[in-house]
Amino acid sequence: MEEMKEIIRAYVVKEYVEDDTEVGFDTPLISGGIVDSFSMVSLKRFLENRYGISIPDDKATPEAFDSVNKICALVQEYLH
Amino acid sequence: MAFSTKTRGIYQDVLKGIQEAGLFKQERFIHSAQAADIEVEFPTGSSLKKVINICANNYLGLSSHPEVVKAARQGLDTHGYGMSSVRFICGTQDIHRKLEKMVSAFLGTEETILFPSCMDANAGVFEAVLTKDDVMISDRLVHASIIDGIRLCSAMHDTYKHSDMEHLESKLQLHNDKRLKMVITDGVFSMDGDTAKLDKMADLCDKYDALLFCDDSHASGFIGKTGRGTHEKYGVMAKMDIITTTFGKGLGGASGGCVSGRRELVEMCRQKARPYLFSNTIAPPVVAGVIKVLEILSATTERRDKLEKNTEFWRKGLTEAGLIIKEGDTPIVPVMLFNAKLSQDVSTDLYNEGIYAIGFFFPVVPQGQARIRTQISAGHEIHHLEKALDAFRKVGKKYNILGKTKQEIIDRYGM
């Protein structure tokens, strides 16, 4: 779980952060303006490819993607 | 009465909020034709003031060119004022088709379709040519009209960091399983004045079998050796799949736009693009004016060459004055002030000196990136630019920003 969090955090920073904003596990990503809703699609696809899962579109909501912790919980749900 | 006191109050509160946030846009009334020298009523009700305009998209100085005005007048006489119909019912004249063919020849594309504006072209094109099985990959700084068009399209949408080719390639790899991929960019970015790396983008599109889309509204008529646009500058004239552009900027400045590119894609727009199907096309006098503009620009590069010289003079002058500008070679030259209030104060002082230039700040540009966006024209003479430089020096001295670094300006005025 900790490894997954680090992987997702690293992806978010590399993909979306263009200044020195720090991203913690609970940092609001969508509501905090770090990830715009347009760009969520690449995050969803990254998770699906990396973990071999399929997240239904109606589950990939801005709320479910709003922090590293929430994203991890979502991925866990579809891993089993 | 549906518009009750309660309803009115809701809107009044929203408008008050916009005003309190300093985001309320006020228009200045110009009493003369669009040109380098204009007469402006500002504030509303005040006497007219003669100022030099350095914030118009009138890049080639054709907005009030006598030959263009004459051609538009003749078009009015021969083809009337309006069409009272959409294109596919009874709204297509010989001159509409003539202009489409001329635009294709000018841009070096297979086919062209006219739209009421480039905003409409961008609103309609994606939905017409892509489906939910496809993906659109756009630069994060594309124009608002492209963003609106993307929102209207069912295809998946992803973005890449501004002009970051490595990031774009990673996105093309990520979405390689899609039926069609389209890479979407502006040719010249309107706020920074930088250009898309279309040569590298075309290579990536070849490598990953992706379509290449470029909105060249701030380029058509003057970027590239013969003014064909950003694709000419980067030597990829034959590689563009879709170009959208406007006739409301360099190409006469009136109105109208188009989608130009591969024959099948243009035909898809003719069959399916909703702004094309459900609104009248460009009015006959404007069509006649744009035809004259393209005749002028096809006969000589004199105007774009003059614009290039003016731009060099202006960029050099601002730099030597000690102001910070965004690097580049386009006629969009942002003078960086970083602080929002400073950008408004400098704009006001410039106006008092007889120079009309507007300050932009968040959310139009990123936080801490406030600026005066200046736009040079072939309609400017050197004396216009010298006077404007004098004003920038005087105002810059007043605010003590000449020769200062970005950090020094931020330390003094804040972000």
Q: Are residues B268 and B326 in the same domain?
A: no
Q: Are residues B266 and B400 in the same domain?
A: no
Q: Do the bridges between strand B37-41 and strand B29-30 make them parallel or antiparallel, or are there none, so unpaired?
A: antiparallel
Q: Are residues B251 and B324 in the same domain?
A: no
Residue range B116-151, pLDDT digits in tens: 999 999 999 999 999 999 999 999 999 999 999 999
* B161 interfacial to chain A (CB closer than 8 Å): yes
Query: Domain for residue B26, yes or no?
Result: no
Residue ranges and CATH numbers for the domains of chain A are 2-79 (1.10.1200.10)
Last residue of a domain, one of B299, B324, B347: B299
Average pLDDT, chain B: 97
Q: Which two tokens stand for residue B146?
A: 């492209």
Which band of pLDDT confidence, cut at 50, 70 and 90, is reported for residue A33?
confident
Q: What is the pLDDT of residue B362?
A: 86
Query: Domain for residue B352, yes or no?
Result: yes
B159 to A39: CB separation less than 8 angstroms, yes or no: yes
Q: What is the pLDDT of residue B236?
A: 98
Q: Are residues B88 and B54 in the same domain?
A: no
Q: pTM, whole model, 2 decimals?
A: 0.94
Q: Are residues B369 and B292 in the same domain?
A: no
Query: Domain for residue B2, yes or no?
Result: no
Which band of pLDDT confidence, cut at 50, 70 and 90, is reported for residue B115?
very high
Q: Are residues B395 and B260 in the same domain?
A: no
Distance set, CA B5 to CA B2, B8, B15, B17, B20 (Å): 9, 5, 15, 18, 22
Q: Are residues B221 and B250 in the same domain?
A: yes
Share of chain B above pLDDT 70, in %: 100
A42 to B150: CB separation less than 8 angstroms, yes or no: no
* B326 interfacial to chain A (CB closer than 8 Å): no
Q: What is the pLDDT of residue B279?
A: 97
Last residue of a domain, one of B267, B299, B331: B299
**Mean pLDDT calculated for residue range B281-288:** 98
Query: Domain for residue B272, yes or no?
Result: yes
CA separation for the pair B158, A15 (Å, rounded)? 11
Higher pLDDT: B51 or A80? It is B51
Q: Do the bridges between strand B242-246 and strand B355-356 make them parallel or antiparallel, or are there none, so unpaired?
A: unpaired
Q: Are residues B210 and B238 in the same domain?
A: yes
Which band of pLDDT confidence, cut at 50, 70 and 90, is reported for residue B264?
very high
Query: Domain for residue B9, yes or no?
Result: no
Question: Is residue B120 a contact partner of residue B276, using CB atoms and an 8 Å limit?
Answer: yes
Which band of pLDDT confidence, cut at 50, 70 and 90, is reported for residue B1?
low
Query: Domain for residue B23, yes or no?
Result: no
- Name the least confident of A15-19, B67-71, B162-166, B199-203: A15-19
Last residue of a domain, one of B299, B325, B354: B299
Number of structural domains (chain B) is 2
Point out the catalytic residue in the list B65, B79, B178, B218.
B218
CA separation for the pair A32, A24 (Å, rounded)? 12
Amino acid at B15: L
Q: What is the pLDDT of residue A35?
A: 87
Given strand B211-215, what is the order of strands in its sheet? B111-115, B257-261, B242-246, B211-215, B181-186, B135-139, B156-160
Q: What is the pLDDT of residue A2?
A: 87
Q: What is the pLDDT of residue B82?
A: 97
Q: Are residues B50 and B91 in the same domain?
A: no
Cβ neighbors of B215 (< 8 A, separation 6 or more) are: B118, B122, B142, B143, B145, B146, B185, B186, B187, B243, B244, B245
pLDDT score of A37 more than 80: no
Query: Domain for residue B361, yes or no?
Result: yes
CATH code assigned at B373: 3.90.1150.10
- Minimum distance, in Å, between the CA of residue A27 and any CA atom of chain B: 20
CATH code assigned at B144: 3.40.640.10
pLDDT score of B227 more than 80: yes
Q: What is the pLDDT of residue A20?
A: 77
Query: Domain for residue B10, yes or no?
Result: no
Share of chain B above pLDDT 90, in %: 96
Residues of chain A contacting B178 with CB distance shorter than 8 Å: none
Range of the domain at B54: 33-62+302-413
Q: What is the pLDDT of residue B366?
A: 83
Q: Are residues B140 and B256 in the same domain?
A: yes
Which band of pLDDT confidence, cut at 50, 70 and 90, is reported for residue B365?
confident
Residue range A66-79, pLDDT digits in tens: 999 999 999 999 98
pLDDT score of B93 more than 70: yes
Residue range B309-330, pLDDT digits in tens: 999 999 999 999 999 999 999 9
- Minimum distance, in Å, between the CA of residue A72 and any CA atom of chain B: 21
**Mean pLDDT calculated for residue range B392-412:** 97
Q: Are residues B96 and B181 in the same domain?
A: yes
**Nearest chain B residue (CA) to A47:** B174
pLDDT score of A21 more than 90: no
Phi, psi of B64 (to 5 degrees): -125, 25
Q: Are residues B220 and B349 in the same domain?
A: no
Question: Is residue B358 a contact partner of residue B371, using CB atoms and an 8 Å limit?
Answer: no
